[in-house]
Amino acid sequence: MADPRRWPALFVLLIANFMNLIDVTIVNVALPSMRDGLGATDSQIEWVVAAYVLAFALGLLPFGRLGDIVGRTHMFLWGVAGFTIASALCGLSPNIETLIVARIIQGLAGAMMTPQVLAIATVTFPPHERGQAFSLFGLSAGLASVCGPILGGLLISAQLFGMDWQPIFLVNIPVGIAAIIAGYFLIPRLPGHATLKNDYVGIALFGLGIICVVFPIIEGRAYGWPLWAFAMMASGLVLLVGFGLWTRARARAGLPQLLNFDLITNRDFMFGAFVITVFASGIPGFFMVISILLQSGFGFTPLESGLTNTPFSVGVLIASFIAGKLGSNFLRGRLAVAGALLSGGIATLHFIIAGAGDSIDHWTFLPPLLIAGIGLGLGFSSLFQLVLRNVPHRDAGAGSGALQAFQQVGGALGIALVGQMFFGAVAAGFASGNAPHVVFAEAASYALWYQVGSFLLVLLMVPFFKKGGGQRQGAPAQPVIVEA
């Protein structure tokens, strides 16, 4: 018999998930205010975004497994509590270093609760109700992407209690407390499996490897690209190779692995994971650049900046409805259209910014951002389905979690690479004595070439996906969360 508390419990899960998702978009609007208020350097501002994304990426797989061990409900509630505490630390941070540390904690806490959300919903709802329940996750994700930039602008512009950017984090505190209390009483206790084990050596190898690659890309420019930066990147690649060898040894011994070795040896899956990494690398850095361009370069208020970015989120929401109607049909065609829309929309935006004079008309941003948003929504939904349809049913859950981790790793790499291009161009522009609006416009238009190139690359890789039908029989449809 279905649990009578399942719908109220779903509401709690949606609220917590919404809080996590909206945090991704709301921070972008506040970056210029943080930079000015805390006297942050360019690389430190990059870390405000990248620290969260990287911590979230590295925590998804181990915390997903840990939820299976100790119980998904307990792990979810701990995650919400950690996210709430970290949000308070973010909002009360006296300096940029404290804020970055708090963002790491926030990312890890988000990784604690996110894998449990769909797992709890899957177990709680009977099969005939899961489609309706999962559709609400897609709706909440779309609403979060639309509301984030606007809410961020409103909170910063309101100057509540004389505060500037701090309320974008502090608003999570009452929401998080309410979710913890309601979740404690409403979400069914799902028992863990103490006999399961986590691969802690694999976690260390994978985490250190990714950090060793991303850290010098962000910090290298500030230190003049010293030898240690290249040595660190090389050691990161060695650690990732070591992770693969360690995982193979664990698989041969019949021991649990962080990333199922069957997936690592599945060429179709690894090719798809690479495409998802490239695809996801284009978005977080894009909004970091646009927000700084509008506010620091052309004097937009945070609210005006958020409203200017809103068409992109509306496009994602429109695409989610289109993708829902299409189901698992025309996946390769949809991905090709997505790559074309994203590269074309952002290329158009490049020329708009490059041709800007003393001011920018925000209305000129609407068509290209809307087109690019539709492309992002179509792309993620089709990409996940394309990759997972070639994964055996027994590995579908692990494959879905791994793809989300690759998505976040791509985002962190994108922030590092785009930040290197953008802030390097900003420094060169100011050294040449150019006016601020000229400096930021030239730097932004230059950095946008990365997005154009990454999405064109995705378009070129579409033919290499195997032709095939839709989703495998017996594999439950899972909603794909798109973070704009």
Give percent of the chain above pLDDT 90. 55
Tokens (6 digits) for 23: 């945090």
Is the pLDDT at 483 greater than 70, yes or no?
no
Is the pLDDT at 391 greater than 90, yes or no?
no
Tokens (6 digits) for 372: 């690019």
The pLDDT confidence band at residue 474, using thresholds 50, 70 and 90, is very low
Mean pLDDT of 187-208: 87
pLDDT in tens, 408-451: 899 989 999 999 999 999 999 999 989 999 999 999 999 999 99
As a whole number of angstroms, the distance between CA 232 and CA 220 comes to 10
The pLDDT confidence band at residue 396, using thresholds 50, 70 and 90, is low
Is the pLDDT at 132 greater than 80, yes or no?
no
The pTM for the full model equals 0.88
**pLDDT reported for residue 1:** 64
Q: Among 262, 243, 259, which residue's Cα sits nearest to residue 403?
A: 259
Q: Where are the domains of the chain?
A: 1-195, 199-257, 267-484
- CATH topology of 1-195 equal to that of 267-484? yes
The pLDDT confidence band at residue 476, using thresholds 50, 70 and 90, is very low
Give percent of the chain above pLDDT 70. 95
Is the pLDDT at 123 greater than 90, yes or no?
no
As a whole number of angstroms, the distance between CA 430 and CA 228 comes to 28
Is the pLDDT at 323 greater than 70, yes or no?
yes
**pLDDT reported for residue 469:** 46
What's the mean pLDDT when you consider all of the chain? Answer: 88
Answer with the residue of higher pLDDT: 294 or 158. Answer: 294
As a whole number of angstroms, the distance between CA 414 and CA 58 comes to 16
CATH of domain 267-484: 1.20.1250.20
Burial class (CB in 10 A: 0-12, 13-18, 19+), 143: middle
Long-range contacts of residues 127-131, Cβ cutoff 8 Å, at least 24 apart: 129/2, 129/6, 130/476, 131/477
Q: Which of 79-93, 160-174, 201-215, 377-391 has the lowest mean pLDDT?
A: 377-391
**pLDDT reported for residue 193:** 81
The pLDDT confidence band at residue 67, using thresholds 50, 70 and 90, is confident
Q: Which of 74-78, 80-84, 256-260, 465-469 has the lowest mean pLDDT?
A: 465-469
**pLDDT reported for residue 250:** 94
Question: From the centroid of its chain, how far is CA 100?
Answer: 17
Is the pLDDT at 3 greater than 80, yes or no?
no
CB 257 within 8 A of CB 247: yes
Is the pLDDT at 480 greater than 50, yes or no?
no
As a whole number of angstroms, the distance between CA 278 and CA 343 comes to 13
Fold of 1-195: Growth Hormone; Chain: A; (1.20.1250)
Mean pLDDT of 251-278: 90
**pLDDT reported for residue 115:** 85
Is the pLDDT at 367 greater than 50, yes or no?
yes
